[in-house]
Structure 1
């Protein structure tokens, strides 16, 4: 009966997404059943529609459509159906959604649940629940929890309250806070429930204390929800208990003082926040997990318990990427502070076995995958070293956070800049030209070797090699000379000042010198390419580019680790370490037709391998290039059309363009 009930919900979802009629055979195709089955479902579908604020109408020869009767009820139900079925055509995401649904039901239960119980409440079949139990077990394991003995009458989770709450918070974050509990048990959501005004007040008090104490975290929304969860669970008798040595250890950080102030302020307004010392300490620990450490903090002083361990780990990581990539980031300004700040929360999580919290979030990739795939590769090496050194995994979210810190560090690398030689002239005489020159010098003086004023006709006598650019207000005379020209007003607008930076100043960035150093002589384009699946392409490319049989296995291993996170906006980018390959490469495989890579549709695959030669400018160039390609779907077509390294140079130069420059 469970599969039939879920089909009614799915049919309602299909109809709610249409503006007009849907024929019965179309509904049958979507649901994977016969038209007869659809017709048998109509009575139940009509009843569900009425309860959901709509009337189901049928017309011979046209099909079925929904008329909205109560818009307030209808839009809430429609929203939940969209959340539930938004990944209907993606088997992997459907499976992850089912896994999370099962966990939400089980995590709050205090008695054994049978498969029949779960199937009936979640409208899933018993076979689909059995299929998900391996993944459910893996997630529980990452939160240091497990089911009780297998020979018990059903499923019941065992594990401490702190880890259970962190799982509940993660599950709530996965879209579930937007859902309306129509067909799911509301036992889970009740742990987070507060009236709107109360929820607002809790968040306001929480954030006010953080501001006053100059304490910063990376997930204010999640932790304000945790406060609701903490109060609910504590007052239901589900309390956290720490060992004495752990209490002392956590309370040595200033975050404990902040947590105590948060609770004192909440307790003054809400009686149900009268919690014990363990709960306050747990809140402090969560602050440490989500710590967003500002630049001015003295890391060695405020985090003295974990600072040395974090620094030792960072030093090992630096040596690793020297060996793996021929990159030394020690030459980059502020690299140590940034990496230690990102590592300190992980060292704290490690002590409490919380580094690997694994819960699939539909938004995880959209928020983080926008990073450069090269920074993500370095982040993956960080994760693998962490596992090797501490025998602990890092979660995907932790890996993305580290990758983002690495991207920031690489963005601090400066490209070589050659100051420009430019002339300024206007049609309004010398004084206007001097004034325009002074405006430009005020903004961009350090970028120009010389910025001279000439009368327009006097420019005829100047050797072309003496200047790089002309900035002028005489558009109809620009054709007379071979210098690159930028036409602006006598008194430039804000946009024109921005144009000076983007079109003139950036010409001084010596990107051609970098590509010459890279010895990347050509871009290979493979048109109308076809492959079976991600695994087959990984095997093909590993065999094709490896410099030895050992390298084939190593390339395959590393690409498999990245195969879930190397695709974004129909682009797949695979970065391969140069020490495994015979040559440097930038190969683009344009697919004959869109293809699924794991759970994402792609149209192009780029395979990159670069020898960095301890040249940080090459590192910055590659990182910026891959970031831009990953985030702009049109660039693959540009690369295909031009097939030259000059195209790559222009992509990177484009990435350097400034935001509008203020005239203040």
Structure 2
């Protein structure tokens, strides 16, 4: 089975719904006709291995597994075969990752002709892929050096090269199990040596009471393997003498010396003193301290002054810009403080951190990630260093946990029932609501229309009324029938579960642009912002604000979807500007065909998490996104959303 068939099979396995040939064609960059031929090949391969692919009219293809054991055995055998043979990249994303890996590990110049033969694609394809490679490497301050008759190679500081190697040579989404790391590291040294290195690290951190997270241990393990290969090639990390002397005073330097001493015996290579210092930075930069349940004032007393002030500055900035209500969360103050201390050590020595969860954090906690970006900007100003999205992802985890805690504290929605046909009817509505929503809704009372002015609106989230209410009230009114029907309950449920907002409130016909022919991210953003400028909905600097956010971390969330937006709210109301494309484009290192420019009202107390939740329901559904992308008119687009 070639990589294209495997990619199709992976998509079918991962989806609960049928997938159209158009969707699969976009994923693997071929025509729908090729997909239909590929499906025939897959049907033949799977028919004797416990699974079939059904073609569902109007919906697409769906995988059905009839014999779990037989199907799993087939996949396991295929995966083993793939490991045993040399991998040839086929998809654009695979080629880009392959090229990055080749460039980072190459000791000499690479030629286009050689790569073309090696990857079985044309030189022009390689050149196109290299443009994406160049953009990705620029994030690490790594350049591409070309030399006539020799080819090209990467150029950058040794520290930056190692960061890139740890990101791209080793799949950050790979499981942490030793066997997985051994598979990936086996090209650097023998598997038995890797086992010994792993054991040495665990023994030393245990003997010296150094607490590291699982991710930190893996980072250190990978670093030593990378350092071994680089030292053998004659490359070394550079540190200023003053910095090295400071590190040598730390306890962690002594532990690093012991790790290196034992490792040298296994690998039969001599680590320079500066390499020992670099390993010590790993230990310094990943310290963890047990959290304690103390007051905010006690936290200030025990936490280093610089760290505490940075933590408070971050939380106050987040509260000012995003109004999340988490400024005084004690667990968050402690968590961020404990994170900032080692982070400051890392950035003092120009060292980043790997985050294997970054894609999942961006997809599942988008609002927390945006708050993490705000925190990262404060940290940047304090440290005078660029904070990358790996660090932001870890900050987002702390912030996301605080947001979840606040949700638990806010309690159920509270409503008042207004009914003109007597107490009996009002009670009927009350008990129906309590039966439907349970602890999610508190009915605080019932009243008649003429007593509306006596309601305590500061303690009421919304009103359920069986009579029309024409006067303006400070809370939302949901008008229902005296005998609640399904539609009435749906309207109330929308408010209880989604804070009373509907995605359709934010989508206007004049701001939906379908089946556009743009070929770059820049073209899309320029067009969308121009449309907003024409309609006088944004200021002249709006595009700069959107690009500023993109520079921190690309807003492509997978599934062909990007949600660009400024870091802070810029507009007078909240609305979405939507664009779909005829063909996918590269948005950083992901393919995108559905773009939703998110515009948020300034100084608003709107629940942005609700907005992201609503968008999430749209963009997480592969079949839905593909239907939206195919829509040619606004009505067709909206009907797809409604259905």
**What's 2:247 paired with?**
250
Q: Do the aligned partners of residues 353 and 127 (structure 1) sit closer, same or farther apart at CA in structure 2, a change above 3 Å counting?
A: farther
SS at match of 1:343: helix
- What residue in structure 2 maps to residue 97 of structure 1? 97
1:85 aligns with 2:89: yes
Query: In 2, Cα distance between the equivalents of 1:548 and 1:249?
Result: 50
Determine the structure 2 residue equivalent to 1:399.
Answer: 392
CA contact (8 A) 1:526 1:589 kept: no
Cα distance change of structure 1 residues 383 and 594 upon mapping to structure 2, 3 Å threshold: same
TM-score by length of 1: 0.56
- Write the deviation string for residues 364-419 of structure 1: whole angstroms up to 9, x where unpaired: 76433323322233333444555566554333323333333332232232443269
Change in Cα spacing, 1:504 to 1:264, as seen in structure 2 (3 Å) is: farther
CA spacing shift, 1:328–1:484, aligned 2, 3 Å: closer
Q: Distance in 2 between matches of 1:297 and 1:275?
A: 43
Q: Determine the structure 1 residue equivalent to 2:42.
A: none
The Cα of 1:562 is off from its aligned counterpart by 7.5
Structure 1 residue 173: Cα displacement: 0.8
Is the Cα–Cα contact under 8 Å of residues 578 and 584 in structure 1 kept in the other structure?
A: no
* Pairing partner for 1:272 from 260, 264, 268: 268
**Cα distance, 1:581 vs structure 2:** 1.4
Partner residue in 1 for 2:559: 569
Q: Is 1:332 aligned with 2:329?
A: yes
Partner of 1:417: 411
2:600 to 599, 602, 609: 609
Contact 1:161 1:238 in 2 (8 A): yes
1:345-364 residue pairs with structure 2 within 5 A? 345-355=342-352
Q: Which residue does the alignment assign to 2:368?
A: 375
Cα distance change on mapping 1:612 and 1:633 into 2, 3 Å:
farther
* Partner residue in 2 for 1:39: none
- Provide the secondary structure at the position in 1 that maps to 2:330: coil
Does residue 1:618 correspond to 2:611, yes or no?
no
Deviation of the 1:100 alpha carbon? 0.4
Distance 2:6 2:641 in 1: 46
Give the CA deviation at 1:243. Answer: 3.9
Distance 1:610 1:220, change over 3 A: farther
Return 5+ residue gaps in structure 1 as ranges: 1-10, 20-25, 33-70, 179-187, 421-461, 470-480, 487-502, 648-664
Q: Distance in 1 between matches of 2:568 and 2:141?
A: 38
Q: Is the 8 A contact 1:525 1:643 kept in 2?
A: no
Q: Deviations over 1:611-630 (max 9, x none)?
A: 565x5x93665566666666
Q: Aligned pair in 2 of structure 1 residues 628, 113: CA closer, same or farther (>3 Å)?
A: closer
Match of residue 505, structure 1, among 426, 439, 448: 439
* Residues 581-608 of structure 1: per-residue CA shift (max 9 Å, x gap): 12234x4859698865734355684735
Counterpart check, 1:199 vs 2:133? no
The unaligned stretches of length 5 or more in structure 2 are 10-24, 32-74, 176-183, 415-422, 444-458, 464-473, 477-498, 629-636
Matched residues in 1 for 2:607 and 2:77: separation? 57
Residues 378 and 406 in structure 1, CA contact (< 8 A), matched pair in contact too: yes
Structure-2 separation of matches of 1:12 and 1:621: 42
Residue in structure 1 matched with residue 167 of structure 2 by the alignment: 170
Three-state SS of the structure 1 residue aligned to 2:268 is helix
> Which secondary structure does the structure 2 equivalent of 1:567 belong to?
strand
Contact 1:355 1:392 in 2 (8 A): no
- TM-score, with normalisation over the residues of structure 2? 0.58
8 A Cα contact 1:374 1:575, kept in partner:
no
Of 499, 505, 519, 1:523 maps to: 505
Report the count of equivalent residues.
495
Give yes or no for contact 1:373–1:573 (8 Å, CA) kept in 2: no
Aligned to 2:525: 538
Q: Deviations over 1:293-327 (max 9, x none)?
A: 653599x99xx9x9555545444444544554455
- Paired with 1:101 and 1:349, the residues of 2 have a C-alpha distance of 25
